[in-house]
Amino acid sequence: MEIIQGVLIIALAFWMVLDQQGFVITTWYPAIIGMIAGIIMGDVTTAMIIAGTFQLMALGVANIGGSSVPNYGLATLVGVYVALRTTHDVENAKAIALAVGVPVGMLGIQLDVLGKLLNSYVSHAAQNALNQGKFKKMERIFWIGPLIFGLTTALPTALCVLFGDRLVRLILEFVPKWFTDGLSIAGSMLPVVGIALLLQFMPVKKYLTMLLIGFVISAYLKLPILGIALLGFAFAYYYFTQNMKKTPVTAGAGEAGNAGEGDDFDE
Amino acid sequence: MNNTEKTDAVTKKDIRKAAIRYMFMACNTFNYENQQAPAVVYGLSKVLRKIHKKDDDYKASLNNHFNYFNTTTWMANLLLGASVAMEEKDGIKSKDAVQAFKTGMMGPLAGVGDTLVWVLYPTIMGSIAGYMGLQGNPTGAIIWVLLNIFFFFFRVKLFEMGHSSGLKLITALGDRLNIFTESASIMGLTVVGALIPSVVKMNIPLEFKTGKVTLPIQTEILDKIMPALLPAVLTYVVYKLIASKKLSITQIIFLVIGLALVCSFFGILGV
């Protein structure tokens, strides 16, 4: 029974990153992962309490523009597993889950960065295969990508299933603190690359005003990103309605229906 | 491509298959260089093979799709559906138009899409499922999964819509589409501006000490000049570095990691 549970937990760890980055059905959000882990471990109630704690910690942490964020889903999964292996007392389980889950979740950032770096080579290899006319080979090479990403979460989970939290602690003790700190610092600086890349494709010079407004409201007024998004929507809506009045529809009246439809799914 | 070899008609099944192939791979081949491009190639490779019978055309088309691509994966379905329609209509001649269309649309769509899909939706569902979870109740999480399944089918539909009417929509809209893209850029840039201080974190733990007075550099000097000064400077520097094209994205990443490690070693930057 314990072996089956361990295997299922590792399989879930492998799947959750692939789903989050692909189908987005079971995702890696703590609430859902915690529920599934709870079903596997046979204690949904305690698992949900742990998952709820992590879910609320994770709010507002979004994986945007290729940034690497602490993997709270991984933290939940490992936390639920180790906690329910040890105890079914809710408060104890919560404490154990936080103590074990958080460091593993942080480790998740570093492995995620590594996965994204390695995938450059996958892309190059696939393109080479294409140019040599080996189309089947190209298809196969692409599958290395999901394999790498699956391992970024399955490996730390497997280590926790096999060795409990001891090994994770050992790794973190063995590696000098400046190094792990440095990697964490890098993790919180690296989103800048995603943002800067995104900016290359946007009319920054034309709408520098908007960039500054967003920055000022977030940095000085600390408004949550959701509020700023709404404000951005307000500006966008104003611009849209004002300019739509000025611009006549170029094509016939039949297209008006399409225009309305376009607005619906884009907004 | 009006040659004698007639291309097989692309069926609805092909389109659905391409949608699901892309949706599975989406960010699972994500890398810092061309980001989602390999997933686009993987997703479209089967349907494009049907369109481009000649190996050279097929290679040229896929090489074109190996160019940098990144947007909200949910929105990408619309763009990719329309791209397939373009290649179906004009063959390999449409290559440049497809590329221009994809790069033109991905930025604005990412701004809006990331906010909706990766911020708004998880924030709302996460708050509900999280609070219910604290009471040991999985109902919120179950609703979340059910909604995800609904969106899964909606996204397949988006791909089909992109294929059947994406282009018609775009040509018919003409100037109006520009207005939409501009509006999306306005919202997108506001959000990106807010992302810089809230996502990029840098902290200098050093202190000036003169006699009894200690002056923490971060809170008393830098934050007084401007909050999130360092993230703003870093964003500007990286933005310029990428624009200059002197370094590859991977090199820039290693540069940032190296900088973080060195600064951590000397205690210049803290967690």
Residue B173: is its pLDDT beyond 70?
no
Q: Say whether B195 and A235 touch across the interface (CB within 8 A).
A: no
DSSP H helices, chain A, are 2-20, 30-41, 44-58, 72-86, 90-131, 135-142, 144-163, 166-174, 177-189, 191-200, 208-219, 225-246, 256-266
Closest CA to B3 of B41, B57, B79: B57
Q: Pairing state of beta strands B213-216 and B207-210?
A: antiparallel
Contact by Cβ (8 Å): B110, B188? yes
Among candidates A35, A142, A189 on the partner chain, residue whose Cβ is nearest the Cβ of B200: A189
Residues of A in contact with B31 (CB under 8 A): 116-120, 122-123
**Across the A/B interface, how many CB contacts are shorter than 8 Å?**
417
Q: Say whether A259 and B172 touch across the interface (CB within 8 A).
A: yes
C-alpha span between A51 and A167 (Å, rounded): 23
| CA-to-CA separations, B73 to B11, B22, B36, B80, B112, in angstroms, rounded | 23, 9, 9, 10, 12
C-alpha span between B239 and A223 (Å, rounded): 25
Determine the average pLDDT of the residues in B248-261. 83
C-alpha span between A204 and A217 (Å, rounded): 18
Residue B2: is its pLDDT beyond 70?
no
- The C-alpha of A109 sits at a distance from chain B's nearest C-alpha, in angstroms, of 13
Residues of B in contact with A184 (CB under 8 A): 271
Q: Say whether B180 and A266 touch across the interface (CB within 8 A).
A: yes
Determine the average pLDDT of the residues in B28-53. 94
By C-alpha distance, the chain A residue nearest B65 is: A127
Q: Say whether A116 and B129 touch across the interface (CB within 8 A).
A: no
Query: Which range, A31-35, B161-165, B181-185, has the best average confidence (pLDDT)?
Result: A31-35
Confidence at B84, pLDDT banded by 50, 70, 90:
very high
Q: Kindly give, in sequence order, each residue whose CB lies less than 8 Å from that of residue A45, ignoring residues fewer than 6 positions away.
A: A38, B136
Among candidates A193, A212, A243 on the partner chain, residue whose Cβ is nearest the Cβ of B256: A193
Query: Which range, A64-73, B29-38, B164-173, has the best average confidence (pLDDT)?
Result: B29-38
Question: How large a percentage of chain A has pLDDT more than 70?
Answer: 84
Confidence at B131, pLDDT banded by 50, 70, 90:
confident
Q: Say whether B31 and A45 touch across the interface (CB within 8 A).
A: no
Residue B3: is its pLDDT beyond 60?
no
Residue A59, pLDDT score? 66
Among candidates B28, B194, B260 on the partner chain, residue whose Cβ is nearest the Cβ of A214: B194
Residue A186, pLDDT score? 77
Question: How large a percentage of chain B has pLDDT more than 90?
Answer: 41
Residue A63, pLDDT score? 52
- The C-alpha of A2 sits at a distance from chain B's nearest C-alpha, in angstroms, of 23
- The C-alpha of B93 sits at a distance from chain A's nearest C-alpha, in angstroms, of 19
Contact by Cβ (8 Å): B250, A120? yes
By C-alpha distance, the chain B residue nearest A209 is: B190
Residue A62, pLDDT score? 54
Mean pLDDT of chain B: 86
Residue A100, pLDDT score? 80
Give me A31's structure tokens: 């609430």
- Residues of chain A with pLDDT below 70 are 59-70, 165-169, 171-172, 187, 248-267
| CA-to-CA separations, A196 to A192, B200, B243, B252, in angstroms, rounded | 6, 11, 9, 11
Query: ipTM of the predicted structure?
Result: 0.72
